[in-house]
């Protein structure tokens, strides 16, 4: 029977061999954390390698994602669909073992990690989702949602500011089934983080005290190479149910390497053939590269245990279904990510009601109205705001705090944590069973940008809501007035950005974001009131295409005005003025350039025919991205400078967002 150390050494061998073959990667963390990982995966982790999507599995997140060979080794050894050939292709094109773990590439990888701090933050989202789903579905004697979230993290994760945001919130929320294991090895790429000699160091935090201050249960100074000590610490953490736990494991990076362990040399580079040979001898691993003895492979294999765990849960769920058939069906629908059967009919009926009301309201208010319309249809809708609920208008009549007794709510008070909120939402989306949305001012999407990029990279349907979308913010001035944000959000691959012009477009934008399965959406709303635009049913149906003809001319257009959001009103009024002068003007509303670009060429040509080269684009933001529509014969009425502090109406006049200026620009191209 192999010893625990033998089992851990399998991780070390695979990790150093894969990094060496690729001549690229990070062997130090997998070798240093191997003993911890062996205990967690073999003694505690509830999972089934043959069904990585089993709903009640524990979630494991490697926040220090540069140590990716740790999770690849674990997945291979445990019996997931990750054959040894894939480990041999570590970091190679189209392999299932990319340099950092990537969601969707490898069975068993729960989230993409690499940008440090986001894994632990995703983990907070996973843990929050587990507790909330349990609150909504569990019934006395029927705990069908009952699993832990485990995350490994290193010094780098704890240095990143996002970890402060997320861990502070996790402590406030008392997420008792979140267990973080901190790899305290004192090494980063630049050397010893606590310093040595004349070097002071750059990470001198008292981490246990920091987490105690957050309200976490802290287990300090655990020997990360002592399996029994690690096991005892995890057992202790699992017993604490009213707060998250962090286990501070002291480890030696690159453990086993005679000449490089404990040094930055093994952090981000292959050990070298000679050092690997010496390591094999030192740890007692006489096997060839990528060779795992049968007894060790058998001891690691988790398929039989996993199948038994899932079968036990299936029996439990069958009893739950017998007692609560409607809840069981709803649980299955939500965890499958399917919308209710009546969603399409009821959401379209709501949009028709909005159109009939023809209200002149701010699109942020239209967004709230839409939430009141859609919220009762979607129990999976889970919202939040970064301390701006009263301004973002993300609260609707059915909202309940997720932290209230019973933990069955649907709204998160994130506090001033834009980055943390966004990455937590990604974790909620990845967990399954929810459609998360969260909001702040558009300007502060900058704080959250990398989490938005990660959502797009992972192709997950997180919904990011941003209000106060332009200089229309007014008196708060240029620190709060977004200029370049909408344009740069549109540039993120696989991100759908919507800037609606009225209540109808706002409702359609929400519907499109809710229905999307293959990527995130960004909804951008105004502070100021926007007038209703009259439309036919065909035009309403065309909104979801991202761009459509809102107001057409008699005959072939002399010019086309393209606009979004609050500037649509200017475009329509300018077209009326020009029509009175005998000009044929088409107005195109383009609430989502991303959705428009996804349409077939024939549709795009029907909206923007190549023969009509006289075009003017109007949007209160930077102009660069609009020239692809304006063309060399066109003009863009935009804003390539920062704003000023003044009432919104004055600012629009100051910067040329007037009917007269739009008319003048159209006449200039005719």
Which contiguous run of DSSP H or E holds residue 512? Answer: helix 503-515
**Closest Cα to residue 111, out of 430, 362, 576?**
430
> Catalytic one among 418, 505, 567, 619?
418
Phi, psi angle pair for 192, to nearest 5°: -80, 120
Give the Cα separation of 16 and 21 in Å (integer): 9
Q: SS3 for 407-432, per residue?
A: CCCCEEECCCCHHHHHHHHHHHHHHC
CA gyration radius for the chain?
28
**Which residues are CB-neighbours of 668 under 8 A, at least 6 positions away?**
635
Torsional sign, CA 183, 188, 192, 194: negative
β-strands 463-467, 435-441 pairing: parallel
187: left (phi over 0), alpha (psi -120 to 50) or beta: beta
281 belongs to the catalytic site: no
Torsional sign, CA 43, 44, 49, 50: positive
Tokens of 336: 């499958």
The answer to whether the CB of 117 falls within 8 A of the CB of 422 is: no
**Closest Cα to residue 239, out of 179, 321, 159, 296?**
179
H helices of 89-195, in order, are 118-137, 155-159, 161-173
Give the Cα separation of 184 and 443 in Å (integer): 36
Give the Cα separation of 57 and 147 in Å (integer): 6
Torsional sign, CA 509, 511, 517, 523: positive
| 417, 420, 425, 428 alpha-carbon torsion, rounded to 10° | -130
> 308 in helix, strand or coil?
helix
Tokens of 491: 């540039």
DSSP summary character for residue 625 = G
DSSP summary character for residue 340 = P
β-strands 529-530, 361-362 pairing: antiparallel
**Closest Cα to residue 222, out of 12, 5, 35?**
35
- Show contacts of 92-98: CB within 8 Å, 24+ apart: 92/22, 97/18, 97/68, 97/69, 97/72, 98/68
Q: SS3 for 449-481, per residue?
A: HHHHHHHHHHCCCCEEEEECCCHHHCCCCCCCC
The residues that bridge with 199 in the sheet, in sequence order, are 196
Give the Cα separation of 561 and 646 in Å (integer): 28
Sheet holding 496-498, edge to edge: 411-413, 381-385, 435-441, 463-467, 521-524, 496-498
Question: Exposure of 215 by Cβ count < 10 A (0-12 exposed, 13-18 middle, 19+ buried)?
Answer: middle
The residues that bridge with 464 in the sheet, in sequence order, are 438, 522
Give the Cα separation of 608 and 616 in Å (integer): 12
- The residue to which tokens 């086309």 are assigned: 560
Catalytic residue annotation: 418
């Amino acid at each position: 029977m192999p010893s625990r150390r033998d089992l851990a050494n399998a991780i070390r061998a695979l990790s150093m061999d894969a990094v060496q073959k690729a001549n690229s990667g990070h062997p130090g963390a997998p070798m240093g954390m191997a003993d911890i990982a062996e205990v967690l995966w073999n003694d505690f982790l509830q999972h089934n390698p043959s069904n990585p999507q089993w709903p009640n599995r524990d979630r494991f997140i490697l926040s220090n994602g540069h140590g990716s060979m740790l999770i690849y080794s674990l997945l291979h050894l445990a019996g997931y669909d990750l054959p040894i050939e894939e480990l041999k292709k570590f970091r190679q094109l189209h392999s299932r073992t990319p340099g950092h773990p990537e969601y969707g590439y490898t069975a068993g990888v729960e989230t993409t990690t690499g940008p440090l701090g986001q894994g632990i933050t995703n983990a907070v989202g996973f843990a929050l989702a587990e507790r909330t789903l349990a609150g909504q579905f569990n019934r006395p004697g029927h705990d069908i949602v009952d699993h832990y979230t485990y995350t490994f993290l290193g010094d780098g994760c704890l240095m990143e500011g996002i970890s402060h945001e997320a861990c502070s919130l996790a402590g406030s929320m008392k997420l008792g089934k979140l267990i973080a294991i901190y790899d305290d090895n004192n090494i980063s790429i630049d050397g010893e983080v606590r310093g040595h000699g004349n070097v002071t160091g750059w990470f001198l935090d008292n981490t246990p005290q920091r987490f105690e201050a957050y309200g976490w249960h802290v287990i300090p100074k655990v020997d990360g190479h002592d399996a029994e000590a690690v096991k005892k610490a995890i057992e202790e953490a699992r017993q604490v149910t009213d707060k998250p736990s962090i286990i501070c494991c002291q480890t030696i990076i690159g453990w086993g390497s005679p000449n490089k362990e404990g040094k930055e040399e093994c952090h981000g580079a292959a050990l070298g053939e000679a050092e690997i040979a010496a390591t094999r001898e030192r740890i007692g691993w006489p096997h060839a590269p990528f060779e795992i003895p049968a007894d060790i492979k058998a001891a690691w294999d988790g398929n039989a245990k996993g199948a038994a765990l899932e079968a036990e849960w299936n029996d439990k769920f069958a009893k739950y279904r017998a007692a609560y058939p409607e809840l069981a069906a709803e649980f299955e629908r939500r965890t499958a990510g399917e919308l209710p059967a009546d969603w399409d009919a009821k959401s379209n009926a709501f949009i028709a009601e909005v159109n009939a009301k023809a209200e002149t309201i701010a699109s942020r208010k239209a967004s709230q109205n839409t939430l009141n319309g859609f919220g009762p249809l979607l129990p999976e809708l889970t919202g939040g705001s970064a301390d701006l609920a009263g301004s973002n208008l993300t609260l609707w009549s059915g909202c309940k705090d997720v932290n209230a007794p019973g933990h069955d709510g649907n709204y998160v008070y994130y506090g001033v944590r834009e980055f943390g909120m966004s990455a937590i939402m990604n974790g909620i989306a990845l967990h399954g069973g929810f459609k998360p949305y969260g909001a702040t001012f558009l300007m502060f999407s900058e704080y959250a940008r990398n989490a938005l990029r990660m959502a797009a990279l992972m192709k997950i349907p997180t919904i990011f809501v941003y209000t106060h979308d332009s200089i229309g913010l007014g008196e708060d001035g240029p620190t709060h007035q977004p200029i370049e944000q909408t344009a740069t959000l549109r540039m993120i691959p696989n991100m759908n950005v919507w800037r609606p012009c009225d209540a109808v477009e706002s409702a359609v934008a929400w519907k499109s974001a809710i229905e999307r399965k293959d990527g995130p959406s960004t909804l951008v709303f105004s502070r100021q009131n926007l007038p209703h635009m009259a439309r036919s049913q065909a035009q309403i149906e065309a909104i979801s295409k991202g761009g459509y003809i809102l107001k057409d001319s008699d005959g072939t257009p002399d010019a086309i005005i393209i606009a979004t959001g609050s500037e649509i009103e200017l475009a329509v009024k300018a077209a009326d003025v020009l029509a009175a002068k005998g000009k044929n003007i088409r107005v195109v509303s383009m609430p989502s350039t991303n959705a428009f670009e996804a349409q077939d060429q024939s549709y795009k040509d029907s909206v923007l025919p190549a023969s009509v080269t006289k075009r003017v684009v109007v949007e209160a933001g930077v102009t660069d991205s609009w020239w692809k529509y304006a063309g060399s014969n066109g003009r863009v009425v935009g804003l390539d400078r920062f704003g000023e502090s003044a009432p919104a109406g004055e600012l629009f006049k100051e910067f040329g967002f007037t009917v007269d200026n739009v008319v003048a620009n159209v006449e200039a191209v005719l």
